[in-house]
């Protein structure tokens, strides 16, 4: 484990060093974040202008509902696409073969970048929440942080499992991430990122329950907006536990198979 | 080190099966025509010996060293490097064997040579302080001390090759595999790098090296023995002088 932390910290130092060459991109990204927050403010004003029965279960607060939806969707995006994106980039840049020729096992070589991305996403999320709380009056006083803490490892397990599945598929088909595209689009549509799932017809809601993001949002919104404890959110916790227990080993198996195939067909060094 | 060979290949073969094109897929085939890269290649290398693998483009040189480096699985036969089967490999194998990739894309081009080396030192399991010390020493040794903090993309081709050599020596490996180390260098750069390789890298006591090249000058300068591959088959295994005479190189 110490070895992994060495790799992770060296990776973070290298990325921060590379950021020095991306100053303009960094400014543009900050500007983009500012515009996104601005859009959320006006959308929240527009949607929240009148009482909405669909938001009663979320404290009647569309701003909080939407901010948490966007943050969780971004976390899923990082989890599902991070590793696949990293593999694609490393194959295209040509670094993957050289990294896998070192004594570090593949999970260590390929695990550090998604961890870095998760960390960066967590920082962005914290900044969003702080900004929404202090600038826009988002009320998190009732938040049940115990439920959030319980959910985090389950959510990371489920998203990482999907990420391994997506990365393995990317290596096998040598195209960027069909799994991530399908999961991302379906989740945005059916998990209730921008609107509550209660507005969906029953059959679409049933399909949405098969997606980890649906349960992630149920737990996060319940815990942070109305202070729900683990007992009140037990269905979603069980669903996330099942997703993590199934997706993580299946994803790891698919990824190990894909890595072996890459060693057979010689595709570690090309894309 | 014992008298056992450092590298043994027995009947190594490699057949690539590229993915099928759309037309072939429509005919129910998932793979294109098989490409035979290596056929029944057998040889051994003694500890401390320097062997040059020569042959024209497409002869199977890179495929052979990638198999010996554990980056590619053989289709048939077996190979042991440092007493470890290359197909099972693992961390112990990679601590003892270094594969120096000639591909200049194998570093992060937006950060310095030093930062690149620090990252690879971490992948070798070195603590940060040791990584800094070892990287600095190696950068000096390969003549990049003054350029260590310049971005990799600003390096010349020769500097990139030297950085790749420094990376290969991070773990002080028993067996060094070099894939065309002077490829793309101008004659003077190639001569300087060959001299450096001979004096500082491959002639280190106890170190076994396999160098891929299609340059007879390189073979004469570096190797005790030459393996000549053609069409994926081992055509000759002899000292460099004889290979030149036999094959008229």
Distance CA(A192)–CA(A180), nearest Å, equals: 18
The reported pLDDT for the residue numbered B1 is 45
Q: With beta carbons less than 8 A apart as the criterion, state whether B98 and B168 touch.
A: yes
| CB-based contact A81:A177 (threshold 8 Å) | yes
Which of A94, A97, A108 is closest, CB to CB, to B71? Answer: A97
Burial A188-216 (b: 16+ CB within 10 A, else e): bebbbbebbbeebeeeeeeebeebbbbbb
Lowest mean pLDDT, pick from A37-41, A161-165, B51-55, B233-237: A37-41
Q: How confident is the model at residue B19 (pLDDT cuts 50, 70, 90)?
A: confident
Q: Worst-scoring range by mean pLDDT, A198-202, B40-44, B241-245? A: B241-245
Nearest to B105 among A93, A102, A104 (CB): A93
CB contacts under 8 A, B 6-45 vs A, are: 16-19
Closest CA to B181 of B46, B192, B9: B192
Q: Which residue of A has its CA nearest to B130?
A: A6
Per-residue pLDDT band at A125 (split at 50, 70, 90): confident
Are B167 and B120 in contact by the 8 Å Cβ rule? The answer is yes
- Helices and strands (DSSP H and E) totals, chain A: 10, 0
Residue closest to B25 by CA, chosen among A192, A109, A173, A44 = A173
| Mean pLDDT, rounded, for A34-42 | 79
Q: What is the per-residue pLDDT for B177?
A: 92
Which of the listed ranges A44-48, A52-56, A267-271, B40-44 does the model predict with the highest average pLDDT?
A: B40-44
Which region among A28-37, A243-252, B118-127 has the lowest average model confidence (pLDDT)?
A28-37
- Interchain CB contact of B63 with A (< 8 Å): yes
pLDDT of residue B40: 94
Terminal CA-CA length for chain A: 31
DSSP secondary structure string for all residues of A69-130: HHHHHHHHHHHHHHHHHHHHHHHHHTHHHHHHTSSS-HHHHHHHHHHHHHHHHHHHHHHHHH
> pLDDT for A178-225, tens place per residue?
778 888 899 999 999 989 999 999 999 999 999 999 999 999 999 998
* Cα–Cα nearest to B208, from B191, B225, B193: B225
The pLDDT of residue A134: 82
Residue A173 neighbours by CB under 8 Å, 6+ apart:
none
Least confident of A67-81, A225-239, B184-198: B184-198
B123 interaction partners in chain A (CB closer than 8 Å): 7, 10, 99, 102-104, 108-109
Q: What is the pLDDT of residue B20?
A: 73
Which residue in the set B18, B95, B107 is minimally distant from A103, CB to CB?
Answer: B95
- Longest CA pairwise span in chain A (Å): 61
Q: Which residues in chain A touch residue B119, judged by CB atoms under 8 angstroms apart?
A: 10-11, 13-14
Comparing alpha-carbon positions, the chain B residue that sits nearest to A267 is: B72
How close does chain B come to A164, measured CA to CA in Å? 21
Q: Please state the φ and ψ torsions of residue B231, each to the nearest 5 degrees.
A: 55, 30
For residues B41, B44, B48, B52, the Cα torsion angle rounded to the nearest 10 degrees is -30
So what's the pLDDT on residue A38? 79
Cβ pair B103:A94 closer than 8 A: yes
Average pLDDT, chain A: 85
- B106 and A97 in contact by Cβ < 8 A? yes
Chain A: residue whose CA lies nearest to B66:
A266
**Chain A contacts of B120, Cβ < 8 Å?**
98-99, 102
B150 inside 8 A of chain A by CB: no
> Mutating which of A12, A19, A95, A256 best tests the B interface, going by the most B Cβ atoms within 10 A?
A95
Question: Which pLDDT score is estimated for B102?
Answer: 66
pLDDT band at A14 (very low <50, low <70, confident <90, very high): confident
CB contact (8 A) between residue A103 and residue B91: yes
Q: What is the mean pLDDT of residues B38-56?
A: 92
CB-based contact B72 A14, cutoff 8 Å? no
For the residues of A186-202, what is the DSSP string, one character each? HHHHHTTSSS-GGGS-H
Q: Which residues of B touch A102 (CB under 8 A)?
A: 94, 120, 123-124
Top-ranked range on mean pLDDT: pick from A14-23, A109-118, A184-193 = A184-193
Residue A69 CA from chain centroid, whole number: 11
Predicted pLDDT at A32: 80
| pLDDT for the residue A138 | 80
B73 contacts A94? CB cut-off 8 A: no
**Mean pLDDT within A34-43:** 79
Residue B79 burial (10 A CB sphere; 0-12, 13-18, 19+): buried
Cα-only R_g, chain A: 20
> Parallel, antiparallel, or unpaired for β B84-85 and B97-100?
unpaired
Closest CB from A7, A98, A174 relative to B122: A7
- Crossing angle of helices A106-136/A23-47, nearest 10°? 50
Shortest distance between the Cα of A183 and any Cα of chain B, in A, equals 26
Where does the pLDDT of residue A237 fall: very low under 50, low under 70, confident under 90, or very high at 90 and above?
very high
- Rounded (5°) CA angle B104-B108-B113: 80
| Shortest distance, CA B96 to any CA of chain A (angstroms) | 9
- Say which residue, A52 or B124, is predicted with more confidence: B124
Cβ pair B124:A103 closer than 8 A: yes
Q: Which residues of B touch A264 (CB under 8 A)?
A: 72-73, 75
The closest CB to that of A6, out of B91, B116, B128, belongs to B128
> Which pLDDT value is given to residue A214?
96
Per-residue pLDDT band at B114 (split at 50, 70, 90): very high
Subunit contact B101:A98, Cβ cutoff 8 A: yes
Which residue's structure tokens are 């404890």? A229
Band of pLDDT at residue B184, cut at 50, 70 and 90: confident
Q: Look at B128 and A109 and tell me if their CB atoms are within 8 Å.
A: no
Interface ipTM: 0.83
Question: CB distance B72–A104 less than 8 Å?
Answer: no
């Amino acid at each position: 484990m110490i070895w992994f932390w060495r790799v992770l910290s060296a990776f973070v130092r290298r990325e921060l060093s590379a950021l020095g060459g991306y100053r303009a991109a960094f400014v543009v990204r900050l500007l983009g974040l500012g515009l996104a927050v601005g859009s959320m403010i006006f959308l929240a004003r527009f949607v929240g202008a009148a009482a909405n029965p669909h938001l009663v279960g979320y404290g009647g607060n569309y701003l909080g509902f939407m901010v948490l939806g966007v943050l969780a969707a971004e976390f899923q995006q990082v989890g599902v696409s991070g590793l696949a994106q990293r593999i694609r980039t490393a194959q295209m840049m040509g670094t993957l073969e050289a990294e896998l020729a070192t004594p570090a096992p593949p999970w260590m070589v390929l695990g550090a970048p998604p961890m870095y991305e998760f960390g960066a996403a967590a920082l962005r999320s914290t900044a969003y929440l702080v900004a929404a709380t202090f600038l826009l009056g988002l009320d998190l006083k009732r938040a049940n942080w115990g439920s959030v803490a319980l959910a985090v490892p389950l959510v990371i397990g489920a998203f990482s499992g999907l990420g391994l599945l997506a990365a393995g598929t990317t290596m096998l088909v040598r195209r960027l991430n069909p799994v991530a595209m399908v999961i991302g689009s379906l989740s945005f549509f059916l998990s209730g990122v921008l609107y509550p799932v209660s507005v969906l017809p029953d059959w679409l809601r049933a399909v949405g329950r098969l997606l980890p993001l649906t349960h992630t949002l149920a737990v996060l919104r319940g815990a942070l907006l109305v202070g729900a404890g683990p007992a009140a959110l037990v269905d979603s916790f069980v669903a996330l536990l099942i997703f993590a227990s199934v997706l993580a080993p299946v994803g790891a198996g698919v990824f190990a198979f894909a890595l072996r195939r890459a060693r057979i067909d010689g595709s570690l060094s090309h894309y | 080190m014992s008298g056992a060979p450092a590298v043994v290949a027995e009947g190594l073969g490699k057949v690539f099966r590229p993915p099928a094109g759309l037309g072939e897929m429509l005919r129910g085939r998932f793979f294109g025509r098989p490409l035979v890269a290596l056929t029944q290649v057998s040889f051994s290398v003694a500890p401390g010996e320097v062997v040059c693998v020569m042959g024209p483009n497409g002869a199977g040189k890179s495929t052979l060293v990638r198999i010996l480096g554990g980056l590619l699985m053989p289709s048939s036969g077996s190979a042991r490097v440092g007493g470890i089967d290359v197909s099972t490999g693992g961390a112990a194998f990679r601590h003892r064997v270094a594969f120096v990739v000639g591909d200049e894309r194998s570093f992060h081009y937006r950060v310095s040579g030093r930062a690149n080396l620090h990252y690879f030192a971490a992948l070798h399991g070195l603590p940060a302080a040791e990584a800094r010390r070892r990287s600095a020493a190696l950068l000096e040794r390969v003549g990049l001390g003054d350029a260590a903090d310049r971005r990799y993309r600003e390096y010349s081709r020769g500097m990139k090759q030297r950085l790749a050599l420094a990376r290969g020596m991070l773990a002080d490996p028993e067996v060094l595999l070099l894939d065309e180390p002077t490829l793309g260098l101008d004659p003077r750069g190639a001569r300087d790098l060959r001299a450096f390789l001979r004096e500082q890298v491959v002639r280190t006591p106890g170190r076994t090296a396999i160098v891929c090249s299609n340059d007879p000058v390189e073979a004469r300068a570096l190797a005790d023995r030459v393996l000549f591959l053609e069409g994926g088959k081992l055509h000759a295994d002899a000292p460099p002088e004889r290979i030149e005479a036999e094959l008229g190189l």
